[in-house]
A and B are shown apart, each in its own frame.
Chain A
Amino acid sequence: MDEVRIIEIKKSIFEDNDKDADKLREELRSKGVFLLNLMSAPGSGKTTTLCKTINALKDSMKIAVMEADIDSDVDARKILENTGVQSIQLHTGGMCHLDAEMTRQGLDGLNLEDVDLVILENVGNLVCPAEFDTGASKNCMILSVPEGHDKPLKYPLMFSVCDLVLINKIDVMPYFDFDLKLCEEYIHMRNPNATVIPICAKSGEGIDKFASYLKQNVKAAKA
Protein backbone atom coordinates (compact mmCIF):
# COMPACT_ATOMS: atom_id res chain seq x y z
CA MET A 1 0.00 0.00 0.00
CA ASP A 2 1.33 3.43 -0.91
CA GLU A 3 1.18 6.03 1.79
CA VAL A 4 1.03 9.67 0.97
CA ARG A 5 2.56 12.16 3.37
CA ILE A 6 2.97 15.89 3.18
CA ILE A 7 6.41 17.24 3.93
CA GLU A 8 6.38 20.86 4.88
CA ILE A 9 9.40 22.71 3.52
CA LYS A 10 8.67 26.47 3.48
CA LYS A 11 12.02 27.36 2.04
CA SER A 12 12.91 29.93 -0.58
CA ILE A 13 14.59 28.33 -3.59
CA PHE A 14 17.23 31.04 -3.41
CA GLU A 15 18.10 30.28 0.21
CA ASP A 16 20.77 27.65 -0.45
CA ASN A 17 22.34 29.72 -3.17
CA ASP A 18 22.44 32.76 -0.89
CA LYS A 19 24.21 30.67 1.77
CA ASP A 20 26.72 29.30 -0.76
CA ALA A 21 27.33 32.84 -1.99
CA ASP A 22 27.98 34.18 1.52
CA LYS A 23 30.41 31.34 2.18
CA LEU A 24 32.26 32.00 -1.06
CA ARG A 25 32.46 35.73 -0.29
CA GLU A 26 33.93 34.92 3.11
CA GLU A 27 36.55 32.59 1.60
CA LEU A 28 37.57 35.18 -0.97
CA ARG A 29 37.86 37.80 1.74
CA SER A 30 40.20 35.57 3.75
CA LYS A 31 42.33 35.07 0.63
CA GLY A 32 42.36 38.81 -0.07
CA VAL A 33 40.81 38.36 -3.52
CA PHE A 34 38.30 40.89 -4.86
CA LEU A 35 35.66 39.33 -7.13
CA LEU A 36 33.63 41.62 -9.36
CA ASN A 37 30.44 40.30 -10.95
CA LEU A 38 29.92 42.17 -14.20
CA MET A 39 26.47 42.05 -15.75
CA SER A 40 24.71 43.69 -18.69
CA ALA A 41 22.50 43.11 -21.72
CA PRO A 42 24.15 41.49 -24.77
CA GLY A 43 26.13 43.97 -26.84
CA SER A 44 26.60 46.64 -24.18
CA GLY A 45 30.38 46.41 -24.49
CA LYS A 46 31.35 44.24 -21.51
CA THR A 47 34.31 42.56 -23.16
CA THR A 48 35.67 45.75 -24.76
CA THR A 49 35.35 47.60 -21.44
CA LEU A 50 37.16 44.76 -19.69
CA CYS A 51 40.04 44.68 -22.18
CA LYS A 52 40.62 48.43 -21.82
CA THR A 53 40.36 48.35 -18.03
CA ILE A 54 42.58 45.31 -17.59
CA ASN A 55 45.27 46.87 -19.75
CA ALA A 56 45.13 49.98 -17.56
CA LEU A 57 45.48 47.90 -14.38
CA LYS A 58 47.54 44.83 -15.17
CA ASP A 59 50.93 46.39 -14.30
CA SER A 60 49.76 47.25 -10.80
CA MET A 61 47.88 44.04 -9.90
CA LYS A 62 47.36 40.43 -10.92
CA ILE A 63 44.03 39.88 -12.68
CA ALA A 64 42.07 36.82 -13.80
CA VAL A 65 38.85 36.68 -15.82
CA MET A 66 35.97 34.21 -15.97
CA GLU A 67 33.76 34.50 -19.02
CA ALA A 68 30.31 32.98 -18.69
CA ASP A 69 28.28 32.24 -21.77
CA ILE A 70 25.71 29.78 -22.94
CA ASP A 71 28.13 28.61 -25.61
CA SER A 72 31.38 29.49 -27.47
CA ASP A 73 34.72 30.70 -26.18
CA VAL A 74 35.03 33.93 -28.19
CA ASP A 75 35.11 36.15 -25.10
CA ALA A 76 37.78 34.21 -23.20
CA ARG A 77 39.96 34.21 -26.34
CA LYS A 78 39.41 37.92 -26.87
CA ILE A 79 40.48 38.68 -23.29
CA LEU A 80 43.59 36.53 -23.60
CA GLU A 81 44.56 37.95 -27.00
CA ASN A 82 43.99 41.58 -26.02
CA THR A 83 45.30 41.60 -22.47
CA GLY A 84 47.39 38.46 -21.89
CA VAL A 85 45.78 37.83 -18.48
CA GLN A 86 44.55 34.45 -17.34
CA SER A 87 41.03 33.83 -18.60
CA ILE A 88 38.68 30.86 -18.66
CA GLN A 89 35.37 30.28 -20.34
CA LEU A 90 32.46 28.88 -18.34
CA HIS A 91 29.54 27.32 -20.15
CA THR A 92 26.19 27.50 -18.45
CA GLY A 93 24.68 24.79 -20.67
CA GLY A 94 21.68 26.82 -21.76
CA MET A 95 21.13 28.49 -18.41
CA CYS A 96 20.57 32.22 -18.35
CA HIS A 97 22.69 33.00 -15.30
CA LEU A 98 25.50 31.82 -13.02
CA ASP A 99 24.92 30.78 -9.43
CA ALA A 100 27.38 30.60 -6.53
CA GLU A 101 28.19 26.93 -7.17
CA MET A 102 29.09 27.58 -10.82
CA THR A 103 31.18 30.57 -9.77
CA ARG A 104 33.05 28.36 -7.30
CA GLN A 105 33.73 25.80 -10.03
CA GLY A 106 35.07 28.59 -12.21
CA LEU A 107 37.36 29.87 -9.45
CA ASP A 108 38.63 26.31 -8.92
CA GLY A 109 39.62 26.28 -12.58
CA LEU A 110 41.79 29.38 -12.17
CA ASN A 111 45.20 29.63 -10.59
CA LEU A 112 44.42 32.13 -7.84
CA GLU A 113 47.96 32.36 -6.45
CA ASP A 114 48.86 36.04 -6.02
CA VAL A 115 45.68 37.05 -7.89
CA ASP A 116 44.25 40.34 -6.57
CA LEU A 117 41.23 40.83 -8.80
CA VAL A 118 38.92 38.31 -10.46
CA ILE A 119 36.30 39.60 -12.87
CA LEU A 120 33.31 37.42 -13.66
CA GLU A 121 31.63 38.39 -16.90
CA ASN A 122 28.11 37.07 -16.38
CA VAL A 123 25.72 35.93 -19.13
CA GLY A 124 24.36 38.87 -21.15
CA ASN A 125 20.92 39.30 -19.58
CA LEU A 126 19.25 41.91 -17.36
CA VAL A 127 16.83 39.61 -15.54
CA CYS A 128 18.16 36.29 -14.26
CA PRO A 129 21.71 37.18 -13.16
CA ALA A 130 20.22 39.75 -10.80
CA GLU A 131 18.35 37.04 -8.90
CA PHE A 132 21.23 34.69 -8.25
CA ASP A 133 23.96 35.88 -5.90
CA THR A 134 27.30 34.66 -7.31
CA GLY A 135 29.29 35.29 -4.15
CA ALA A 136 31.01 38.29 -5.71
CA SER A 137 32.39 41.05 -3.48
CA LYS A 138 30.66 43.70 -5.59
CA ASN A 139 28.13 43.75 -8.42
CA CYS A 140 28.60 45.98 -11.43
CA MET A 141 26.50 46.43 -14.53
CA ILE A 142 27.01 48.19 -17.83
CA LEU A 143 24.16 50.08 -19.42
CA SER A 144 24.96 51.27 -22.92
CA VAL A 145 23.48 54.45 -24.37
CA PRO A 146 21.56 52.78 -27.27
CA GLU A 147 19.58 50.73 -24.73
CA GLY A 148 17.93 53.93 -23.44
CA HIS A 149 17.87 55.86 -20.19
CA ASP A 150 14.63 54.21 -19.01
CA LYS A 151 16.19 50.79 -18.38
CA PRO A 152 16.52 51.27 -14.60
CA LEU A 153 12.73 51.52 -14.50
CA LYS A 154 12.22 48.44 -16.66
CA TYR A 155 14.74 46.17 -14.95
CA PRO A 156 14.49 47.38 -11.34
CA LEU A 157 16.03 44.34 -9.65
CA MET A 158 19.22 44.51 -11.74
CA PHE A 159 19.76 48.13 -10.77
CA SER A 160 18.91 47.58 -7.13
CA VAL A 161 21.55 44.83 -6.70
CA CYS A 162 24.37 46.75 -8.43
CA ASP A 163 26.96 48.71 -6.45
CA LEU A 164 28.35 50.24 -9.60
CA VAL A 165 26.70 51.19 -12.90
CA LEU A 166 28.89 52.01 -15.89
CA ILE A 167 27.10 53.97 -18.60
CA ASN A 168 28.93 53.00 -21.79
CA LYS A 169 29.04 54.43 -25.34
CA ILE A 170 28.54 58.00 -24.15
CA ASP A 171 30.10 59.18 -27.44
CA VAL A 172 26.82 58.40 -29.24
CA MET A 173 24.59 60.09 -26.67
CA PRO A 174 23.35 62.88 -29.01
CA TYR A 175 22.10 60.32 -31.57
CA PHE A 176 19.94 58.43 -29.08
CA ASP A 177 18.32 61.25 -27.08
CA PHE A 178 19.88 59.71 -24.02
CA ASP A 179 19.34 61.80 -20.90
CA LEU A 180 22.30 61.05 -18.62
CA LYS A 181 21.00 63.08 -15.70
CA LEU A 182 17.59 61.44 -15.82
CA CYS A 183 19.21 58.01 -16.11
CA GLU A 184 21.29 58.65 -12.98
CA GLU A 185 18.14 59.77 -11.21
CA TYR A 186 16.34 56.53 -12.19
CA ILE A 187 19.33 54.46 -11.03
CA HIS A 188 19.34 56.19 -7.65
CA MET A 189 15.60 55.62 -7.31
CA ARG A 190 16.33 51.90 -7.44
CA ASN A 191 19.52 52.06 -5.40
CA PRO A 192 20.45 55.32 -3.65
CA ASN A 193 23.96 54.00 -2.91
CA ALA A 194 24.92 53.03 -6.47
CA THR A 195 28.03 54.64 -7.95
CA VAL A 196 27.57 55.78 -11.55
CA ILE A 197 30.50 56.21 -13.95
CA PRO A 198 29.91 57.32 -17.56
CA ILE A 199 32.46 55.77 -19.93
CA CYS A 200 33.30 55.25 -23.57
CA ALA A 201 35.16 51.93 -23.82
CA LYS A 202 36.09 52.60 -27.44
CA SER A 203 37.90 55.90 -26.83
CA GLY A 204 38.90 55.04 -23.27
CA GLU A 205 37.05 57.96 -21.71
CA GLY A 206 36.17 57.27 -18.07
CA ILE A 207 38.14 54.00 -17.96
CA ASP A 208 40.59 55.63 -15.52
CA LYS A 209 37.70 56.21 -13.10
CA PHE A 210 36.56 52.60 -13.34
CA ALA A 211 40.17 51.47 -12.88
CA SER A 212 40.60 53.53 -9.73
CA TYR A 213 37.28 52.21 -8.36
CA LEU A 214 38.68 48.69 -8.78
CA LYS A 215 42.05 49.67 -7.27
CA GLN A 216 40.35 51.03 -4.16
CA ASN A 217 38.26 47.90 -3.76
CA VAL A 218 41.20 45.57 -4.28
CA LYS A 219 43.06 47.50 -1.60
CA ALA A 220 40.07 47.30 0.74
CA ALA A 221 39.77 43.53 0.16
CA LYS A 222 43.29 43.09 1.53
CA ALA A 223 42.78 45.26 4.59
Chain B
Amino acid sequence: MHELGVAFHCIKEINKLAEENGVEKINSVTIQLGEVSTVIPEYFEDVWKWAVKKETVLKDAALKIEIINAVTHCNGCGQDYPTVKYGRTCPHCSSPDTYLVTGNEFIIKELEAVDTRA
Protein backbone atom coordinates (compact mmCIF):
# COMPACT_ATOMS: atom_id res chain seq x y z
CA MET B 1 0.00 0.00 0.00
CA HIS B 2 2.43 2.59 -1.25
CA GLU B 3 -0.18 5.35 -1.53
CA LEU B 4 -0.85 5.29 2.20
CA GLY B 5 2.77 6.09 3.06
CA VAL B 6 2.80 8.89 0.51
CA ALA B 7 -0.51 10.23 1.86
CA PHE B 8 0.86 10.37 5.43
CA HIS B 9 3.98 12.11 4.18
CA CYS B 10 1.88 14.57 2.20
CA ILE B 11 -0.41 15.32 5.17
CA LYS B 12 2.62 15.95 7.37
CA GLU B 13 3.97 18.45 4.82
CA ILE B 14 0.62 20.22 4.49
CA ASN B 15 0.20 20.52 8.25
CA LYS B 16 3.61 22.16 8.37
CA LEU B 17 2.69 24.53 5.51
CA ALA B 18 -0.62 25.37 7.20
CA GLU B 19 1.17 26.30 10.39
CA GLU B 20 3.67 28.47 8.50
CA ASN B 21 0.80 30.28 6.79
CA GLY B 22 -1.38 30.58 9.89
CA VAL B 23 -4.16 28.48 8.39
CA GLU B 24 -6.72 26.82 10.65
CA LYS B 25 -8.86 25.05 8.11
CA ILE B 26 -8.22 23.78 4.61
CA ASN B 27 -11.11 23.18 2.20
CA SER B 28 -9.16 21.54 -0.56
CA VAL B 29 -5.68 20.56 -1.63
CA THR B 30 -4.52 20.51 -5.24
CA ILE B 31 -1.88 17.93 -6.10
CA GLN B 32 -0.02 17.65 -9.38
CA LEU B 33 0.74 14.05 -10.14
CA GLY B 34 3.03 12.81 -12.89
CA GLU B 35 1.50 10.29 -15.25
CA VAL B 36 4.25 7.75 -14.52
CA SER B 37 4.86 8.53 -10.85
CA THR B 38 4.40 5.48 -8.67
CA VAL B 39 1.20 6.86 -7.15
CA ILE B 40 -2.09 5.67 -8.63
CA PRO B 41 -4.63 8.54 -8.46
CA GLU B 42 -7.67 6.39 -7.60
CA TYR B 43 -5.87 4.63 -4.73
CA PHE B 44 -4.48 7.91 -3.50
CA GLU B 45 -7.99 9.43 -3.40
CA ASP B 46 -9.25 6.49 -1.36
CA VAL B 47 -6.52 6.59 1.27
CA TRP B 48 -6.70 10.39 1.37
CA LYS B 49 -10.41 10.32 2.30
CA TRP B 50 -9.65 7.87 5.07
CA ALA B 51 -6.53 9.60 6.36
CA VAL B 52 -7.84 13.19 6.55
CA LYS B 53 -10.75 12.14 8.77
CA LYS B 54 -8.28 11.92 11.64
CA GLU B 55 -6.80 15.34 10.97
CA THR B 56 -7.72 18.76 12.36
CA VAL B 57 -6.70 21.45 9.84
CA LEU B 58 -7.20 19.00 7.02
CA LYS B 59 -10.36 17.36 8.32
CA ASP B 60 -12.62 16.56 5.36
CA ALA B 61 -10.38 18.51 2.97
CA ALA B 62 -11.17 17.65 -0.65
CA LEU B 63 -8.42 16.38 -2.90
CA LYS B 64 -7.99 17.72 -6.43
CA ILE B 65 -5.56 15.88 -8.65
CA GLU B 66 -4.05 17.35 -11.82
CA ILE B 67 -2.15 14.93 -14.02
CA ILE B 68 1.15 16.00 -15.57
CA ASN B 69 1.77 14.22 -18.87
CA ALA B 70 4.85 12.06 -19.11
CA VAL B 71 7.31 13.18 -21.78
CA THR B 72 10.57 11.46 -22.67
CA HIS B 73 13.49 13.08 -24.46
CA CYS B 74 15.69 11.13 -26.87
CA ASN B 75 19.43 11.87 -26.81
CA GLY B 76 19.74 10.05 -30.12
CA CYS B 77 17.65 12.37 -32.31
CA GLY B 78 16.84 15.16 -29.88
CA GLN B 79 13.05 14.76 -30.12
CA ASP B 80 10.45 14.44 -27.36
CA TYR B 81 7.71 11.81 -27.34
CA PRO B 82 4.87 10.61 -25.04
CA THR B 83 6.31 8.13 -22.52
CA VAL B 84 3.19 6.08 -21.81
CA LYS B 85 2.66 5.20 -25.46
CA TYR B 86 6.25 4.42 -26.44
CA GLY B 87 8.15 3.60 -23.23
CA ARG B 88 11.92 3.92 -23.10
CA THR B 89 12.73 3.35 -26.75
CA CYS B 90 12.46 6.37 -29.07
CA PRO B 91 9.68 5.92 -31.68
CA HIS B 92 11.49 8.28 -34.06
CA CYS B 93 14.96 6.75 -34.23
CA SER B 94 14.71 3.56 -32.06
CA SER B 95 17.46 4.77 -29.72
CA PRO B 96 17.31 3.44 -26.13
CA ASP B 97 19.30 6.49 -24.94
CA THR B 98 16.33 8.42 -23.54
CA TYR B 99 15.36 10.12 -20.29
CA LEU B 100 12.14 11.22 -18.63
CA VAL B 101 11.59 15.00 -18.82
CA THR B 102 8.27 15.21 -16.99
CA GLY B 103 5.87 12.67 -15.50
CA ASN B 104 7.46 11.67 -12.22
CA GLU B 105 6.12 14.62 -10.16
CA PHE B 106 4.27 14.71 -6.89
CA ILE B 107 3.73 18.38 -6.18
CA ILE B 108 1.54 20.15 -3.66
CA LYS B 109 0.28 22.89 -5.96
CA GLU B 110 -2.03 24.91 -3.74
CA LEU B 111 -4.17 24.91 -0.65
CA GLU B 112 -7.62 26.41 -0.44
CA ALA B 113 -7.65 27.83 3.06
CA VAL B 114 -10.60 29.15 5.03
CA ASP B 115 -9.89 32.05 7.35
CA THR B 116 -12.46 31.94 10.08
CA ARG B 117 -13.08 35.42 11.39
CA ALA B 118 -15.03 35.93 14.54
Chain A interface (Cβ within 8 Å of chain B)?
Answer: 1-14, 16-17, 94-97, 99, 127-128, 131-132, 157, 189
Contacts and interface: CB of A to CB of B under 8 A. Distances in A.
24 contacts: A2-B114, A2-B116, A3-B114, A3-B117, A4-B112, A4-B115, A5-B113, A6-B111, A7-B110, A7-B113, A8-B110, A10-B107, A10-B110, A12-B105, A12-B106, A12-B107, A14-B106, A95-B5, A127-B38, A128-B2, A128-B6, A128-B38, A157-B38, A189-B96
Contacts of B106: 12-14
A70 to B, nearest CB: 11
B23 to A, nearest CB: 7
Given A94-B4, A128-B5, A131-B38, A10 B109 contact: yes
Category for how many chain B residues contact A? 20 to 34
B54 interface: no
A4 B10 CA distance: 22
Contacts of B112: 4-7
A8 B109 contact: yes
Interface in B59-118: 96, 105-117
Nearest to B29: A9
Given A5-B112, A10-B109, 4 more contacts: A9-B108, A97-B5, A99-B9, A128-B5
A189 B99 CA distance: 11
Contacts of B115: 2-5
Contact of B108 (A11, A96, A99): A11
B96 A1 contact: no
Nearest to A157: B38
A96 B2 contact: yes
Interface in B1-46: 1-2, 4-6, 8-10, 13, 16-17, 21, 23, 27, 38
A173 to B, nearest CB: 26
B65 to A, nearest CB: 13
Contact of B2 (A9, A14, A127): A127
